[in-house]
A and B are shown apart, each in its own frame.
Chain A
Amino acid sequence: MISLNTVRTLQVTEERARRVYDVAAAGDGGKLMVTRGAGRRVREALGSLLEGLPRGGVLYVDTRGVELMDYSFADEAFGILASRMTGGEYGDRHLVLIEAERDLLENIEASLRQRSLAMIRVEAEGESPGIVGDLPDHLVETLQTIYGTDSITNADLAKKLGLNHTACNNRGTRLAKLGLIHRRKETAAPGGRQYTYEGIA
């Protein structure tokens, strides 16, 4: 897993709605999470919670109480969900995994890598974020820069990364589509607009 720990823990500039889903304690969950059928049920529960969040909201999925998670479950619950989020099915709503560095992550990582996707992971709410899954180096660098600020405009991000605005906007768009950052469109004088990026965890 790639760590974003090079950056400070941040306070998001605007308070966003957040909910926590404890997989081990939830009715659809448990300590032993195996098979695609079980993963499907958890994914459906997560999907309902995501749909119930306001725009910009963050759903924290806590898997720390799960003892065993096989690949099939991980792919069905997290891989497919991440894929659908990237496809825009849940709009501007985000998912953050709460999990420690342990073997259980291997199956989530394998599923996300196979799908060329990534998720933000924290060891506990409020802790420094990291990435689980597959993200190209240039996007990791961009993500680390964004998470190193409370909030950053595309222009400032471009300057920090030594990119032109279009290239930087492309990276920001990709990260937002992957659900790894929050992207806001703001009006910029005179009569223009600019994007602002923020971390989600």
Chain B
Amino acid sequence: MSGVLTLGSLDAAFTAAADLEGEEVVVDLGSIDFVEPAGICGLAALIEYLLPRSRGIKLSLSGSDVPAYLERMNFFRLFGGRVETDRDISALEDRRRHNPGTLQELVNFRTEEEIPGIVERISEILENQGYRIRERVAICSTLSEVCANAAEHGTDPSSEAGFGAYAAVQAYQHIVSGGTRRGEEVLVAIADGGPGVRQTLSRNPENAGLTTTDNDALRHALSMGVSASGELGRGGGLPLVAQISARASGSLSLRSGTARVTAYKERTNSRNVPPFPGTFVRVSLPRPSEV
């Protein structure tokens, strides 16, 4: 791993983790110098995936920025008792927790009842940071819909990774997701340990033929009214999140199984990728500079 920690940079680790038989594992983050919400959620999902397969997990860290960021994002509070680190992080815990850019530290949730509290907190922070009501609504609606999907489908008791879901949100004072545009950007990332989109949608016979591959299933999930239950009114959240991100000239990325689909304003890209156990969602909501 090097540079920016995203979900993609953990692909090799997920692939290797599938073959573990109780060995000790070292996750080397030594060359990472920047972590985005997708990276921290991916790391959380990876550790949850590794825990039942390994004898112990050690994080290899270097420098001070990444460990400090992980601490600010509550990572060590959530995983401190379950992973070791190759350096003393107790000093980080004593630091004053101040990061005006952080909207939502890494949070683990399992039920829908926890979501309003998460959304309320982010809404307050956004308001304090001067985000207009329309922008707050877009960000919070996105978060609540994706979290609700994760809470509903990420806690399948038959799934090996029964950790519920992790979410993280970060506001940046620059555009992170490529391009040369000027402005700010909010990134939302959520990872759940459920059975994945294809298996979930396959419960509904109406989706047969449209969920043959993981890529098919992810594209199908972006259509209005597509759901696991087939109930009228269901399956509207994700397409609306895609609309919100497209309106902001951002993107919605879904990853599940061996597929990744990213929806932009005018196109949707699909790719085959190494397997991800569960479902991962990343939403980019740019905030262009005012002229």
Q: A32-B119, A35-B115, A37-B112 are in contact. Are A114 and B141 (CB under 8 A)?
A: no
Indicate if B233 sits at the interface (CB-CB under 8 A): yes
Q: How far is the CA of A99 from the CA of B133 in the complex (A)?
A: 16
Beta-carbon nearest neighbor of B236 in chain A: A71
Q: How far is the CA of A115 from the CA of B233 in the complex (A)?
A: 6
Contact A67–B123 (Cβ < 8 Å): yes
| Chain B min CB distance to A9 (Å) | 29
**Number of residues from B at the complex interface, CB < 8 A:** 24
Indicate if A107 sits at the interface (CB-CB under 8 A): yes
| Cβ < 8 Å to B, chain A residues 67-126 | 67-68, 70-72, 75-76, 79-80, 83, 103-104, 106-107, 110-111, 114-115
Which of B112, B232, B234 contacts A35 (CB under 8 A)? B112
| Cβ < 8 Å to A, chain B residues 92-106 | none
Contact B134–A34 (Cβ < 8 Å): no
A34, A83, A115: most-surrounded residue (chain B CB, <10 A): A34
| Chain B min CB distance to A112 (Å) | 9
| Chain A min CB distance to B241 (Å) | 9
| Cβ < 8 Å to A, chain B residues 106-130 | 112-113, 115-116, 119-120, 123
Indicate if B265 sits at the interface (CB-CB under 8 A): no
Taking CB atoms, residues of chain B closer than 8 Å to A171 are none
Beta-carbon nearest neighbor of B238 in chain A: A71
Indicate if B273 sits at the interface (CB-CB under 8 A): no
Q: A34-B115, A34-B119, A114-B233 are in contact. Are A68 and B136 (CB under 8 A)?
A: yes
Indicate if A36 sits at the interface (CB-CB under 8 A): yes
| Chain A min CB distance to B242 (Å) | 12
Contact A71–B119 (Cβ < 8 Å): no
Q: How far is the CA of A94 from the CA of B134 in the complex (A)?
A: 31
Indicate if A38 sits at the interface (CB-CB under 8 A): yes
Taking CB atoms, residues of chain B closer than 8 Å to A80 are 233
Which of B140, B148, B237 contacts A68 (CB under 8 A)? B140
| Chain B min CB distance to A44 (Å) | 16
Indicate if B240 sits at the interface (CB-CB under 8 A): yes
Taking CB atoms, residues of chain B closer than 8 Å to A71 are 141, 145, 236-237, 240
Taking CB atoms, residues of chain A closer than 8 Å to B237 are 70-72
**Number of residues from A at the complex interface, CB < 8 A:** 25
Q: How far is the CA of A80 from the CA of B116 in the complex (A)?
A: 21
Indicate if B18 sits at the interface (CB-CB under 8 A): no
Contact A32–B120 (Cβ < 8 Å): yes
Contact A35–B236 (Cβ < 8 Å): no
Contact A114–B123 (Cβ < 8 Å): no
Which of B113, B144, B240 contacts A110 (CB under 8 A)? B240
Contact A103–B137 (Cβ < 8 Å): yes
Contact with A along B238-270 (1 / 0, CB 8 A): 001000000000000000000000000000000
Indicate if B230 sits at the interface (CB-CB under 8 A): no
Taking CB atoms, residues of chain B closer than 8 Å to A37 are 112-113
Contact B140–A32 (Cβ < 8 Å): yes
Which of A32, A83, A111 contacts B116 (CB under 8 A)? A32
Indicate if B4 sits at the interface (CB-CB under 8 A): no
Taking CB atoms, residues of chain A closer than 8 Å to B225 are 114
Q: How far is the CA of A70 from the CA of B237 in the complex (A)?
A: 8
Q: How far is the CA of A30 from the CA of B148 in the complex (A)?
A: 18
Q: How far is the CA of A32 from the CA of B123 in the complex (A)?
A: 9
Contact A68–B141 (Cβ < 8 Å): yes
| Chain A min CB distance to B72 (Å) | 25
Taking CB atoms, residues of chain A closer than 8 Å to B145 are 70-72
Beta-carbon nearest neighbor of B138 in chain A: A103
Indicate if B224 sits at the interface (CB-CB under 8 A): yes
Q: How far is the CA of A20 from the CA of B234 in the complex (A)?
A: 28
Taking CB atoms, residues of chain A closer than 8 Å to B116 are 30, 32, 34-35, 38
Taking CB atoms, residues of chain B closer than 8 Å to A72 are 144-145, 148, 236-237
Contact A68–B119 (Cβ < 8 Å): yes
Other A-B pairs, 4, CB within 8 Å; known A34-B119, A107-B141: A32-B116, A37-B113, A68-B136, A72-B145
Give A residues with C-beta under 8 Å from B.
Answer: 30, 32, 34-38, 67-68, 70-72, 75-76, 79-80, 83, 103-104, 106-107, 110-111, 114-115
* 10 sample A-B contacts, Cβ–Cβ < 8 Å, listed by A number: A32-B120, A34-B140, A37-B112, A70-B148, A71-B240, A79-B233, A80-B233, A110-B240, A114-B225, A115-B232
